[in-house]
A and B are shown apart, each in its own frame.
Chain A
Amino acid sequence: MSVLPVTALSERTICARFLCRTIMEVIFLLIAISIIAALGFLAAFLWAVRSGQYDDDKTPAMRILFDDKQSTETNK
């Protein structure tokens, strides 16, 4: 990098580079946090598969559509 005389222009450049670096640091921070959140999701996925929720994926789809007469009557 060549040596620049300190002028108003270079002050703006230094400001711009500083801003750029700050923004990049913010992005880095956000990425780090999102990875931690993603780890949580991975744990949830592994737990869901392990507890057998994905072994049968057709029957639960049928169950949600059922209308239980007795339970709706008691809810009235």
Chain B
Amino acid sequence: MPVLQEKTTCYHCSDDCVDETIHLDGHTFCCNGCSTVYKLLQEVGLDDTYANGPLGIKPDAQKAQELAYLDDLEVKESLLDFSDGTLARITFELPAIHCSACVFLLERLERLNKGVKQSEVNFPKKTANILFNETEVSLKELVLLLHSIGYAPNLNLARSSETKEKPIIDRTLMYKIGVAGFCFGNIMLLSFPEYLIGNQALESKWSTLFSYLNLALSLLVLLYAGRDYLISAYKGLRVKHVNMDVPVSIGMLAIFIRSAYDIITASGPGFLDSLAGFVFFLLIGKWYQAKTYSGLSFERDYRSFFPIAVNRIGTDGQVNAIMIKHLLTGDEIQIHNDELIPCDCELLSAKASIDYSFVTGEAAPSSKTEGNRIYAGGKNRGSAIRLRVLKPVSSSYLTSLWNSTDASDKQDVPPLLKFSDRIAARFSIAVLSVAAITAVYWIFVDPSNWLNNATSVLIIACPCALALSIPFTYGSMLRHFGRQGFFVRSVEAIAKLGEINHVVFDKTGTITIREQNGVILAGNPISPDQLEALVNVARQSLHPLSRNFAAAFHKMRQENVIGFMENPGIGIYGMVNGVLVELKNPNNLTESERIRFDDWQTDYRGMGRTAVMIDGKLWARVEFTTSYRHGLHQVVEKLQEENEVSLLSGDNDSEGLALSNKLIAGFEKQNMHFNMDPHEKKDWIKKQQSSEGKKLLMMGDGLNDAGALKEAHFGISIAEDNGQFTPASDGILSASSFQKLPALIQLARKARFIVIAALSLSMMYNIIGVSVAVQGLLSPVLAAILMPLSSVTVVLFTMVSSTLLIKNKLKTG
């Protein structure tokens, strides 16, 4: 057994110190990186940062070498917000920002480098806006600084596009709410004396003045704050379509016109406070519904995943960094380990190992030889390779699938919203008829007040509660979901989620956890020293299997390896503490060894079988298993109760048996489809939805799912952490919330019941109000009480019901 060391935690990143422990200033650190950052912060007096707790971030020194392209003028221009030759401004996306210590440290960057003049962090967006002097610190040095303290910026193609629209923040809704609120409060204030006095005629020079002031304020409400409703109703009516804004506009205009008439003819104070309150509540509903998650993007396409520049080998052999949009067919490029291949290429090096899991879903890297075609989006897992460009970046085979601005946009409106528009139509007709009947009735019975009574009906029939049920119910759901780690793009999207009846999963990265393979050992038992030796030898290699092996034992102590050799295709070997160990490709074993190798039995068949040789003799076998997400079989089981569940994978079917096992996943055999390329996935979903009329939920994680996610009725991207790229989707699910999926779908379904209940509640108010109005008993005071009351009741009801529903659901599961 490895020697039990006393458990110490790193003062900087709060990881356990396992590999080594560095003591400094009475604190312990897990590695050189963390202790360096600590020293750095201490020198500039920033060690106060630790007052907010350990930073929890491990600085990444390796990537720093590949930043040479940041010296290129064109790259700089595309990244900087602004530059005048001396001062420059840039906004960095820093996904590592996660706490107030990060904000503290990043806003004091000028103490780490004098070239930085100003630094402002936007925590919800996880960005830092930095003003720096280009003559004192270059962009490359700035980025290196950020890497060294653990905040590597996201520099991808999307950030450097020339059509970088400066996001114009739309504040008009806030202005309108402010104005509506102001008018609401002041109209109420101005109407106060009228209510106080009651029906007694008040001859005061003030009362007429106040009435006209009210009129002026309500003009402001009608023409500015409430403008959007009038415009939308008009547009709808022009195409003969009655939407929810039509009854709202009828109400608004009825109140205004009747009140204006009453005030000008001095026959009453009008109902203007009802108008202002009505518009105010509606605008608040609009604001509540428009909740966005500014730190996430539901629109990402491949540009957020690709790098900005790549190394091109010129005809003279010189290596230069150029922006990938400038790559031409025939260019030779050099791609290092872990770098992304930006366009369709031909392999010039002898061998390569390419990981396509993100773009096609194949879990294991594929081996390519000289002359093979390599597709854009693959990652190089091995030493540096040379490639020849076959097609420019934007016309690669898969780009059309990845473009989120592709014009296959689904234009369907969720039935629930169509339903509310239909209610709006019926409501308007009903109200207008009742008003007409009232008018006719009173003309015959007592014609002195017939117009007043008819308009009272139009005034009190409040569609505001109708208009508030949906925004507040789904808006509350949106916020609650966000707290549970499920970020939905909009209220309309939640309505769509409630309609699905068929759930589809991608495999690699969605139900499996990337880069977290389990290890199965077979054959002779391996002693702790031997394991230590094997792990340290594996650490020296870039081969995917070696990396998998090393990752599984990443906490193993670091030891020196003597005489390390890697023979591609054959194996790796080295000597650690006197033990000679080798990890060998089983195809290179002797016949007798091979027989023994294949003979060893294990319960579970994994992949990537490798032979372990100790002192030159076959000793054991190592193979890798896939890690499935925790709770996968429960999720599938629960979903199968109410939906059909399928699997669409770009990988081969080697795991088919495991996946049909109810203890692992429990997919039905006929619902699992393998070897599907991204186009086929999209077409399959399209067929299911069009020919079989099903509504599909698709869950995926990489670019290989981008087309399918768009095509599905509701698409979910699953993300391990916030900084990870997610393809365009309707919702982003945190990996840690994966088990909540069945509950979340059921909640979305139940939400429509809350909406219906709220609509019924508001109907009740309307019936009461209208019955008062038809009798001619409606006074401004009564209207002013009833309308806000109904709005507030509906709002409270929806918010409380949705909170209770969620709490209840998540408790019982």
Contact = CB atoms under 8 A, between A and B. Distances in A.
Partners in one complex: yes
A48 to B, nearest CB: 9
B175 interface: yes
Contacts of B210: 28, 31
Contacts, number: 75
Interface string A28-70: 1101101100110110011001101011101100110111111
Given A38-B186, A45-B178, A49-B171, A31 B122 contact: no
Chain B binding surface, main DSSP class: helix
B124 A34 contact: no
A50 B204 CA distance: 40
A67 B185 contact: no
A23 to B, nearest CB: 11
B174 A54 contact: yes
B48 interface: yes
Contact of A56 (B123, B174, B182, B206): B123
B441 interface: no
A15 interface: no
A39 to B, nearest CB: 8
A54 B170 CA distance: 12
In this complex, the interface size class of chain B, counting residues with CB under 8 Å from chain A, is 20 to 34
Interface in B189-229: 189-190, 192-193, 197, 202, 204, 206-207, 210, 213
A62 B123 contact: yes
B51 interface: yes
B182 to A, nearest CB: 4
A72 B45 CA distance: 12
Contacts of B202: 24
Contact of B182 (A25, A32, A38): A38
Contacts of A52: 169
A69 B48 contact: yes
A27 B202 CA distance: 13
A25 to B, nearest CB: 7
B105 to A, nearest CB: 10
A69 B185 CA distance: 46
Nearest to B44: A70
B189 A35 contact: yes
- Identify whether the interface residues of A are mostly helix, strand, loop, or mixed: helix
B64 interface: no
Contact of A38 (B125, B185, B197): B185
A28 B191 CA distance: 11
Nearest to B182: A42
A68 B48 CA distance: 8
A59 B102 CA distance: 11
Given A21-B204, A42-B179, A59 B124 contact: yes
A41 B183 CA distance: 12
Contacts of A59: 103, 121-124
B451 to A, nearest CB: 30
A63 to B, nearest CB: 7
B185 A62 contact: no
A24 B45 CA distance: 65
Contact of A28 (B123, B174, B206): B206
Given A49-B175, A62-B103, A35 B213 contact: yes
A62 B51 contact: no
B48 A67 contact: yes
B553 interface: no
17 contacts: A21-B204, A25-B204, A28-B193, A28-B206, A28-B207, A28-B210, A31-B210, A35-B186, A38-B182, A49-B175, A54-B174, A58-B124, A59-B122, A59-B123, A59-B124, A67-B48, A69-B48
Closest 9 CB pairs of A and B: A28-B206, A59-B123, A62-B100, A42-B182, A49-B174, A45-B178, A69-B48, A58-B123, A58-B124
Interface of B: 45, 48, 51, 100, 103-104, 107, 121-125, 169, 171, 174-175, 178-179, 182, 185-186, 189-190, 192-193, 197, 202, 204, 206-207, 210, 213
Given A31-B192, A35-B189, 14 more contacts: A25-B204, A27-B193, A28-B207, A31-B193, A38-B186, A42-B179, A46-B175, A50-B175, A54-B171, A55-B169, A56-B123, A62-B100, A66-B100, A67-B51
